[in-house]
């Protein structure tokens, strides 16, 4: 089965994170679609508007291979306040699917009660938002089972490559990294 992934764009999302993730996954052959939280036209944190492929509402109960949440404080606040988003990440986690978040967005995973007893990272200074029962890591990207978290805009490339590795394999991730002139440890 081909991997199909969804990235949720909320008003105020961090543009570097969202566009990097979408671009790198597509380069890796991963089918990724964007879903706007409040409609198809979504304004980012720095005045860049993106036309999402679909809306979160139109997805219904559909399951994907993974759900990705970009950060940005405005975007994260909107994600945190959405019962649809909380239900989406819970449903995917319970189904054993990848749930990934970057920057401030791991806070959403904590609110959805997905981080207790797990390892995660978040934008520096927001560690307390991960909850008392989460092992707070300082790494750029942290993978704990089907849960993948990252720290912020500058780690978006590493995060996206980790996602390509997860969905399309390590060899494909290395190939994409070489083409992008990105550093790869493996």
Name the residues annotated as catalytic: 103
* Diameter over CA atoms, the chain: 40
Tell me, what DSSP letter sits at residue 105? T
Encoded tokens for 84: 């649809």
- State the Cα–Cα distance between residues 77 and 86, nearest whole angstrom: 12
Token pair listed for 156 = 């978006």
Phi-psi region of 94 (alpha: psi -120 to 50; beta: other; left: phi over 0): alpha
107: closest CA among 94, 122, 92, 93?
Answer: 122
């Amino acid at each position: 089965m081909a991997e199909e992934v969804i990235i949720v764009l909320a008003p105020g999302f961090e543009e570097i994170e969202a566009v990097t993730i979408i671009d790198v996954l597509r380069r890796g052959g991963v089918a990724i679609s964007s879903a706007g939280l409040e409609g198809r036209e979504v304004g980012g944190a720095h005045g860049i508007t993106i036309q999402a492929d679909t809306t979160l509402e139109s997805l219904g109960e559909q399951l994907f291979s993974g759900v990705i949440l970009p950060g940005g404080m405005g975007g994260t606040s909107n994600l945190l306040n959405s019962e649809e988003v909380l239900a989406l990440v819970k449903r995917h986690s319970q189904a054993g699917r990848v749930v990934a978040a970057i920057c401030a967005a791991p806070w959403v995973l904590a609110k959805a009660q997905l981080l207790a007893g797990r390892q995660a990272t978040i934008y520096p200074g927001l560690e307390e938002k991960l909850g008392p029962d989460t092992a707070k890591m300082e790494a750029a990207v942290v993978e704990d089972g089907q849960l993948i978290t990252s720290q912020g805009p500058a780690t978006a490339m590493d995060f996206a490559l980790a996602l390509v590795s997860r969905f399309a394999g390590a060899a494909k991730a290395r190939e994409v990294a070489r083409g992008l002139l990105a550093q790869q440890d493996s």
